[in-house]
A = this chain, B = another copy of it.
Amino acid sequence: MGLSREELLAELRDAGRVHSNAAVMYHAAISARMDLSAVEEKTLDLLQRSGALSAGELAELTGLAPASVSGLIDRLERKGFARRGKDPQDRRRVNVEIDPGTHARFAPLFEPFAAQLAELYEEYTDAELAVILGFLRRSAVIQREATRALREEK
């Protein structure tokens, strides 16, 4: 039973690394299956969150040149994941929105993993799940902050 706190912490560092790596590999496998590059994937994620973004906003958020964003949108349209729409307020603007079918295309890929995870959750009490939930949230905040620091530092 008994791991000392030190041992526990050491195991956690290792498990965290392994877990992180698994997430990265999984993500890569999903992208590969969907025939999406990392940038395309990230763009879909941005669109998912915000509903719709203009080409210029995408350039800003992805760090790409405007010309590159045109090509990016072309590719996403060609693959059926996004659509161009004119902004009625300012018709120079192109509003890019995620294709409504996108979620449904991803869902079956995620589903087996989600099901397994649901099974895993069943093995925990509510109190334990609350601990896990809190940890996931807090460590995600920390990791996002670390990412931000890495990007702007120097």
User: Does A129 interact with chain B (Cβ within 8 Å)?
Assistant: yes
Give the interface size bracket for A toward B. Answer: 35 or more
Report whether B15 and A133 are in contact in the complex, using a CB–CB cutoff of 8 Å. yes
7 more contacts with CB within 8 A, not counting A8-B129, A18-B140, are: A8-B133, A20-B27, A22-B140, A22-B144, A26-B150, A112-B149, A120-B138
How many copies of the shown chain assemble into the complex? 2
| Closest residue of B by beta carbon distance from A24 | B27
User: Does A61 interact with chain B (Cβ within 8 Å)?
Assistant: no
Q: Is chain A's binding surface mostly helix, strand, loop or mixed?
A: helix
Report whether B124 and A142 are in contact in the complex, using a CB–CB cutoff of 8 Å. no
User: Does A109 interact with chain B (Cβ within 8 Å)?
Assistant: yes
- Picked from B13, B113, B137, the residue with its CB within 8 Å of the CB of A142 is B113
